[in-house]
């Protein structure tokens, strides 16, 4: 989570915004009130799904009207269909996803990915990453690799198979903030 906080702070600095944008961690339903955007980080999607349910965050997340920036396990949670019945997805984006599409931890890798709307490839970190294998008509597929879809947008939501917060390139964080009307 701290990597996302740092990445958004870097994006705000890079964009030159001196606004009142602040990134804060959220762990309880009442902390969502008044926010314009959220990030759902990577991790283990079954565990995150259980924690969302346990901490009564499911309904506030589904009803959240702001944008959501979801990476890796966060991407799994945004889908409306997943290949693992243990994951209670939020269903906020119209796509289906395969968890751990590349295999175990040792199959993690880095790659330069062409992303629609970016002027040069984005260096992406794939760690036990998912891929989408179907996207609905209202979903914009912004990046694919041979194994499947790795970046999608729908409305103000962005779902990424990889971890942009692990690098120093702020372009996707800035793009998300722009899509939410925050910068």
φ and ψ of 105, to 5 deg: -55, -40
- Radius of gyration for the alpha carbons in the chain, expressed in angstroms and rounded: 15
Phi-psi region of 106 (alpha: psi -120 to 50; beta: other; left: phi over 0): alpha
Residue with tokens 């629609």: 116
Pairing of strands 95-98, 81-82: parallel
Nearest to 135, CA basis, from 122, 121, 151:
151
Residue with tokens 């790659």: 111
From 4, 153, 157, 165, active-site residue = 165
Residue 72 annotated as catalytic: yes
From 4, 72, 157, 173, active-site residue = 72
Residue 180 annotated as catalytic: no
Alpha helices in the chain (DSSP H): 2-15, 45-54, 58-63, 73-78, 171-179
Cβ 113 vs Cβ 145: under 8 Å = yes
From 4, 157, 163, 173, active-site residue = 163
- Active-site amino acid positions: 72, 163, 165
């Amino acid at each position: 989570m701290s990597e996302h906080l740092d990445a958004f702070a870097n994006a705000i600095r890079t964009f030159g915004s001196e606004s009142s944008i602040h990134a804060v961690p959220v762990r309880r339903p009442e902390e969502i009130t008044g926010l314009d955007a959220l990030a759902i980080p990577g991790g283990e999607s079954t565990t995150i799904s259980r924690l969302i349910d346990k901490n009564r965050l499911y309904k506030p997340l589904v009803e959240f009207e702001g944008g959501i920036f979801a990476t890796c396990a966060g991407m799994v949670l945004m889908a409306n269909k997943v290949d693992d019945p243990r994951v209670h997805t939020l269903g906020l984006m119209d796509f289906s996803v395969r968890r751990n599409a590349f295999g175990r931890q040792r199959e993690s890798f880095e790659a330069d990915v062409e992303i629609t709307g970016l002027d040069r490839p984005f260096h992406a970190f794939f760690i036990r990453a998912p891929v989408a294998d179907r996207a609905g008509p209202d979903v914009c597929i912004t990046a694919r690799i041979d194994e499947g879809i790795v970046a999608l947008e729908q409305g103000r939501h962005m779902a990424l198979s990889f971890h942009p917060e692990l690098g120093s390139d702020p372009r996707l964080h800035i793009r998300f903030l722009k899509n939410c009307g925050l910068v």
